[in-house]
Amino acid sequence: MRSPNEYHVIDTLHCSVDVQTFKIIISDCNAWCPSVYSDDCNGNMPPVCATSAQAADMVSPAGTECRETWMCPAGTMPFYYTTADPAGQAYPAGDFARCFPPPNNFYYLPDGVTRITGLACQG
């Protein structure tokens, strides 16, 4: 039996840590990152606004993040919305939006920096 005053020496030169990569699954995406596709084009009323079904919008796991993807129908192009610019801007290169695990579970442009509040295919 060891004494409560006994000290243990740890040899830090021989310690190793097994870090496992954590992988996100679809239920994580459903809980943390629901779709931000806007069926009404964020209320902007363009001549054409494709619904999420028409754009085949979906959220799915992609390694350690969730991704929202879509395919804009003919005559439309993707736009994104931010709190600062609810009117929308043309989506940059990349056909996906990124969402990270909590506490940072918000959607971002493919750059992983610009936070968005919505997206839609409009014409």
Q: In what order do the strands lie in the sheet with 77-81?
A: 49-50, 118-122, 77-81, 89-90
d(CA 40, CA 26): 26
pLDDT score at 6: 42
State the DSSP code for 104.
S
Q: Which of 57, 65, 61, 56 lies closest to 102, judged by CA?
A: 65
CB of 78 closer than 8 Å to CB of 72: yes
Structure confidence at residue 1 (pLDDT): 44
Delimit the domains of the chain by residue range.
12-122
Q: What is the mean pLDDT of each run of 10 residues along the chain (123 residues)?
A: 43 44 88 97 95 98 97 97 93 94 96 96 96
pLDDT of the residue at 96: 97
What is the structure's pLDDT at 19?
A: 42
pLDDT at 21: 60
Six-digit token pair at 1? 């039996």
Q: What is the pLDDT at residue 36? A: 98
